Structure 1
């Protein structure tokens, strides 16, 4: 395919967009100069780019009907089997539908991508298959993953297995619902503001956002390079640790990674927390207007119960935690508009693997079908672009700079405490908005629960949801946060809680 030469009119429009005052003669000169460089683009087409490997055979599978899809949590069903032996042998795993699985449709929750089929396997997919796991399909996720609830996907709301009128949480909505319902053993989620931990909390399962960069994001549709995480969801801490061991470690293709040591996470599950110091962060409780008192009480009781396993538990104050969600908003929305939307999901100026088929498909679709974005995506685009145009990226930059102060505030606490605890979400699962709800309700219900989760996407600390007990028939989640690189300690504390209370999650 030869690159088309730009017309004078096309160049004139570009020039105007950059406030360049060029005559037609100027534009003709630039047009001739551009022609020579276009040969380089033509040569790039001829060289052939490397792609992510696709090792194991598969069929495309099918989209299940409503009888097979009680919670509307499945986007696609298939069966891709890898190695006959390995640590994941016998395990059925579902992928969030922003993870590339070659030959199987990938919608990323959005109508504009319906029909797109990747031609590559994400790094974590290859690792799961090598370890003997069976990938059984794709779980519904929110529209471009921009919701902490479960009502924005183009395929309709994902229903909470504990109460079909309630949200599962998002954006890994289908992943958590299918684990909670017992339809799969494990799931992959992705997390930019809480999207593993929120649905794990509202569905009553275990979900870990690993340390930033521990698990490669290669082959997964991103939102914002500095907050992208992917990780495991399961019904037991053992299965979370097992899946993390398989998918963690550098792949040489993801600039988010920085050589973090992969540990034997299963070996960290010793059943107790002797000599572990736990700080209950008081700023994670009592959020005005959204905190539910039963959630506060259940989480405090759960934290103090770890004293029975040898931990030292104290209440502490980290005032800057209250600013975390503001910092996330300060650069997350502008960042995602730049990378995910204007940059056609991949952006530029970073080294690593680019999923060019997805980039091209999204870029074409957003130019012709933008009206089909969800309300949350539209709001993010409008605000992100407004801030960029009016303030020239200044507040994105301030947000990234202030994020280092937030990380230091937590790290100061980690000088005295091994883990921090607070509610994963200030409230239990909320009612799903009606289909004709006003835009304000749709958007507010998508982001109202991220206050405690979003700060740790900024700082990169590992953070895990641990199901405590039900209140009013709905699960309550406790979040355990650890030092950067100490996912093993987070898992150890979670396992001690599971051991004390027998909190292996049963299939619904």
Structure 2
């Protein structure tokens, strides 16, 4: 649910700080994508292939089963589920004309989200072999629409640990095995990027859907807080936890959210897009800034008006906001992990560090942070005068597993900077969509983030779909 660094998060010493047709030749910064011709490119493509008889649910389940034999691919998958009966039932529905909206579409589930009959480890040795009695609400909604859960996917421990999970090991980045996927939805990001499945469920408390989406080159949505139920998810921070999907495109996520949240697509119109300064563009690699400004140019060419924004005027002091998010997260993590205190030494070092930080907080610290959160949300709702805000994604390309550092221009930074542009949206609960926006100097994916007002998830997805209709960044494969 968060960035999964080895640090305990920031400390009190943290310093302040469709539209028109587009000529892609002017802004394209990515090589021509390579997509295997026999692999569906997403949910929509797979449904079209089912409808035309080009493939069957059984064939897609067999393709998934064979995919985990590929080198490193198995890192993302903790267990494979028995789907033979569901695949046969879906095939019959396609044959008799009763296919549901996501009929026969395989998906993966992060190992802190319940799937009936599956072992849900939460990435922890302390959970033993616990079996989920029922589906989490989100899984149940997807099943009812015909989607088929095929695998339980890796996570950092309780969605709050380091890259080096003590029970299951590390999930390396599909684009470079020396780099990390980002966390904590490590398996979800890697499995979708490898085209093992067209979408997966993850969770996001400080950035954990959007971080692996950015670093693995896929599209991920942290929905409006409480738009998707967290029932059946292991808690990290009940105030900040979000359930969200990762997929190959914003259009695919729109299909998924239509099922999970009854989210209707919106008609596009010329939009006012806020372009923030300050915090969101600091400690950011030049290549990331270039990808961001290129993306803004695409959106402008698609009909949007770019509106410069003062981050200080809208948000106040971002360092204080960021710190409030981490105070709430670690305080609630400390409480949610109290039952494991006697076995703390068996837990991941990164998780231990974050719990320890939460243990030092007072009730007053927590309550002041919660009060600050309420005031900040009220401030944003009163001052937000654009349709969407677009920020750079993460500060740099995927972090190095050796040393746990991120390259930003000529300097390296620790993993504690990962959540700089993501935590604020968990704190406020506003919807945030991360989507590929190019590649960096090492050829690894970069991202941009589209943010809307509460319950403007469909508008974020519509802008993402329009952007991806004009670019090929989301089609790059490892």
TM-score (norm 2): 0.77
Q: Aligned residue for 2:185?
A: 172
Say whether residues 1:275 and 2:270 are aligned partners: yes
Contact 2:389–2:451 under 8 Å retained in 1: yes
Larger radius of gyration, structure 1 or 2? Answer: 1
Q: Distance in 2 between matches of 1:207 and 1:142?
A: 18
Say whether residues 1:182 and 2:195 are aligned partners: yes
How far off is 1:369 after superposition? 3.1
Contact 2:218–2:247 under 8 Å retained in 1: yes
Q: Distance in 1 between matches of 2:297 and 2:330?
A: 37
Q: Distance in 2 between matches of 1:152 and 1:451?
A: 23
Structure 1 segment 323-342 matched on structure 2, within 5 A: 323-338=320-335, 340-342=336-338
Greater alpha carbon shift after TM alignment, 68-77 vs 193-202: 68-77
Q: Distance in 1 between matches of 2:375 and 2:294?
A: 30
Say whether residues 1:313 and 2:287 are aligned partners: no
Contact 1:124–1:216 under 8 Å retained in 2: yes
Contact 1:66–1:72 under 8 Å retained in 2: no
How far off is 1:490 after superposition? 0.6
How far off is 1:178 after superposition? 0.5
How far off is 1:156 after superposition? 1.1
Q: Aligned residue for 1:422?
A: 391
Contact 1:175–1:187 under 8 Å retained in 2: yes
TM-score (norm 1): 0.72
How far off is 1:330 after superposition? 2.2
Secondary structure in 1 matching 2:421: coil
Q: Aligned residue for 2:147?
A: 133
For structure 2, the residue ranges without an aligned partner over 5 or more in a row are 1-64, 91-98, 405-412
How far off is 1:190 after superposition? 0.3
Secondary structure in 2 matching 1:154: coil
Q: Distance in 1 between matches of 2:168 and 2:425?
A: 29
Q: Distance in 2 between matches of 1:426 and 1:323?
A: 19
1:17-39: CA deviation from partner (whole Å, max 9, x where unpaired): xxxxxxxxxxxxxxxxxxxxxxx
How far off is 1:426 after superposition? 1.5
Q: Distance in 1 between matches of 2:378 and 2:434?
A: 23
For structure 1, the residue ranges without an aligned partner over 5 or more in a row are 1-61, 249-261, 343-362, 436-443
Return the structure number with greater relative CO, CA threshold 8 A, min gap 6: 2
Q: Distance in 2 between matches of 1:162 and 1:419?
A: 30
Q: How many corresponding residue pairs?
A: 390
Secondary structure in 1 matching 2:419: coil
How far off is 1:209 after superposition? 0.3
Secondary structure in 2 matching 1:109: coil
Contact 1:99–1:122 under 8 Å retained in 2: yes
Q: Aligned residue for 1:18?
A: none
Say whether residues 1:196 and 2:209 are aligned partners: yes
Q: Aligned residue for 1:379?
A: 353
Secondary structure in 2 matching 1:330: helix
Secondary structure in 2 matching 1:488: helix
Secondary structure in 2 matching 1:79: coil
Q: Aligned residue for 2:289?
A: 296
Q: Runs (4+) of structure 1 moved beyond 6 Å?
A: none
